[in-house]
Amino acid sequence: MANKKKDDDEYLIVVDDMEYHGYIEGFSTREKINSDELKLYTNILPKHYNDIEDRTEIIFKRSGTPNNNFFYRGTILKKIEPSTFIMKNSRYYKIWPLNHNGWDIWAKSYEKTRELETQKNNLWDLYQAGKVFINEDLI
């Protein structure tokens, strides 16, 4: 992983010949994940961490931390055996190495995401067909 200053304010990080313009090295910022979003992630056992596919979005927190909804978030760019991920967070424009020992990891389930999207589309279709009504007294 290389980090070079390109112009005055533009940084360039290169990972396996892929250029990430404007990204800087540094750990992601911790953020609160609401319970609905958390349902889209699957808890991964530590023995399966290296089986997570590249380009998978994960959320993670230190093992043994309080059971709250504050997580770090990132996408796996690359795995380096035995226990390092090269991570990217597009929201904060950061790239960093993560030694995943001592972390609890949840991987985004794209199947769950598609399932939820299908449910939303079906509900919208039923609403447009006049088969579902919104009780505004409950809003």
Quick: pLDDT tens for 30-78: 999 998 889 899 999 999 999 999 999 999 999 988 888 899 999 999 9
Q: Does pTM surpass 0.85?
A: no
The three-point CA angle 104-110-111 to 5° equals 110
**What are 8's two structure tokens?**
């005055």
Burial of 124 (0-12, 13-18, 19+ CB in 10 A): exposed
Looking at the predicted structure, is the pLDDT value of residue 10 above 80? no
Domain 25-131 has CATH 2.30.30: yes
Confidence of residue 4 (pLDDT cuts 50, 70, 90): low
- pLDDT band at residue 8 using 50, 70 and 90 as cut-offs: very low
- Around 16, how many Cα atoms within 13 Å sit in the side-chain half-sphere? 8
What percent of the chain stands above pLDDT 90?
Answer: 56
* Under 8 Å between Cβ of 105 and 44: yes
Query: Tens digit of pLDDT for each residue in 88-100?
Result: 999 999 999 999 9
Q: Parse the chain into domains and list their residue ranges.
A: 25-131
